[in-house]
A and B are shown apart, each in its own frame.
Chain A
Amino acid sequence: MGWFGKIRADADAEKRSVDEGLWRKCDECGEARLAEEFAKNLQVCPACGYHYQLDAPGWVNLILDPSSFVERDPDLVAADPLAFKDQKGYRDRSRASRKKTGFGEAMLSGDGKIRDRDVSVGFFVFQFMGGSMGSVVGEKVARVFERAAERRCPAIIFNASGGARMQEGVYSLMQMAKTSAAIARLRATGQPYISVLLNPTTGGVAASFAFLGDVIVAEPKALIGFAGPRVIEQTIRQKLPEGFQRSEFLVDHGMVDFIAPRHEMRSRLALLLDHLAG
């Protein structure tokens, strides 16, 4: 469990810098607060409530019962089926991401409990190549659904991804089909799947399992959509409306069941599971 060590190291580093008086300014409201206040408030701005990204271990701690998480498939890492090379080779890129993040890939998955109920869960690691989905992410997500089906427990995925990973070409594209097919099987078992849309959820992840939840929950102001805003702007040569593709916009257009602020997420999910899974 390489990442547990890493969180502790991060926390120590944070404490030290706070002691040194490190301030953090909110990009949204401009207020400056002690970095420690952001950390204590789950990376939500204490002044305006803007939700900054919480990393995958942070989500594990927030959502699951203490010590209930058992990581699965931690040893799956990217191959390089296309021998892809842009400015840098893909193998070097994925290796650098492993080193930088301390994660094997852009998905942290496993088994855990929410208020004593078994769940099969997956958390995107956005810091790993923008949470992009290649063969490993697709495989881990498919296994989350398969384990939920086998163990007869609900599945929950916390999405934060720019979409498919270009460096794996059509292999990446096919992860959309693979994961969606796994959901079709899970549905046949009568177990619920809840999709949580974090900032951002776009592209091939949005256009597959992220939008196939029996219930779809979003964080406030998360960017959610199929095409990225830049692509749309370039295509239609128009300015995009205020709040376009944000969670609130999606709720208004009927695409998301509800928005849950971070500090309520665990209790809302627990309640949903009570309703759906009895």
Chain B
Amino acid sequence: MQTQYLDFERPLVELEQQIDELKQVAGPGVLFAEEIGRLEERARKLQIEIFNDLDAWQKVQLSRHPNRPYMLDYVERLMTDFIELHGDRLHGEDRAIVAGLAKFGDRRVMVIGHQKGRNTKENLVRNFGMANPEGYRKARRLFQLADRFGLPILTLIDTPGAYPGIGAEERGQAEAIAQCLVTMAALKVPVIATVIGEGGSGGALALGVANRVLMLEYAIYSVISPEGCASILWKDQSKAAEAARQLRITAADLHRFGLVDAVIEEPAGGAHRDYEATARKVGAAIGGYLDSLSGMTPDELVGDRYDKFRAMGVFETAK
């Protein structure tokens, strides 16, 4: 994988390159040890400095980082015996959503998530993680299958949004998403959704009607992309950073609002710097919540999910 970095990561990455070069020159000996130690300490401090003070727009960029771990990176690290299941049985197979049966520890689960591509070739297949109706109908089919076999459902959310195309509209994009929502609402198995990157609007929520909703620290969840919001409300796409701030789309904001249940801390410098550590934390969080839901009856799970979403919304009563 080609390492790429964001503008605000640049000073850090450059320092790290310097350290690497010095290490290569030094070889295995103790040469430059003191200098290397000093630079490493500086890098550590610089990283803390940069990441302690990220604004909403920087978090948007991190959530879209080209090196960020994607759905299958988590499946690989957290699950065994994964069998991918394909197709919506109606029209086609959408590879922007991946779904299958797996073992999560000693539990049998259904795992469903958006999958982005790492490069142009992969993105031709994955459509940048933007699903067509077939993706949502596959998800819905497998929600129902999991329900029938009593399998807990784990969803991993990472999409810029549902694909806005002619074919998608012809084949009922809105209907496909709506069916996911009403189907998830009635599932009699535990459902845990984790936003691992971009939670882009209805296309994200279609996998998000869960008993517990978790978010990685630098993931975002939004009703509209900051760029889309800026071009509608400010009539100016360059106001995206401002829109990102106003829309309150960061994990910290949404946790404060009670719209997500937990924020999963990312390793220093972001999830893309340490897949293993990130996956471990995600796995631990999901495992914990699965345990806490395991005592609930099917009807309690449905009721718990209903109450959760029913309570969402803030309004006033006019005098």
Contacts and interface: CB of A to CB of B under 8 A. Distances in A.
B32 interface: no
A57 to B, nearest CB: 19
B202 A231 contact: no
B53 interface: no
A87 B233 contact: yes
Nearest to A73: B317
A170 B221 contact: yes
Nearest to B221: A170
B166 interface: yes
A173 to B, nearest CB: 4
**Number of chain B interface residues as a range:** 35 or more
B306 interface: yes
A142 B309 CA distance: 11
A3 interface: no
A177 B181 contact: yes
Contacts of A86: 233-234, 243, 246
A202 B208 CA distance: 20
Given A81-B257, A207-B202, A241-B166, A178 B313 contact: yes
Contact of A226 (B174, B185, B317): B174
Contact of A175 (B166, B228, B234, B313): B313
Contacts of A142: 310
Interface string B290-318: 00000000000000011001101111111
A173 B222 CA distance: 8
Interface stretch (B6-14, B111-119, B142-150, B247-255): B247-255
Contacts of A85: 246
Contact of A166 (B170, B174, B247, B312): B247
B315 A79 contact: yes
Q: Which of B205, B221, B315 has the most CB of A within 10 A?
A: B315
B168 interface: yes
Interface string A231-259: 11001101011001100010001110000
B174 A225 contact: yes
24 contacts: A79-B316, A81-B257, A82-B247, A135-B315, A138-B313, A139-B315, A164-B223, A168-B223, A170-B223, A174-B309, A175-B312, A176-B202, A176-B205, A178-B309, A180-B178, A180-B209, A184-B185, A206-B174, A207-B206, A211-B172, A212-B182, A226-B169, A227-B162, A245-B169
In the complex, the 4 A-B pairs of residues with the closest C-beta atoms, listed nearest first: A135-B313, A227-B164, A180-B181, A206-B174
Interface of B: 162-166, 168-175, 177-179, 181-182, 185-186, 201-202, 205-206, 208-209, 221-224, 228-229, 232-234, 243, 246-249, 254, 257, 259, 305-306, 309-310, 312-319
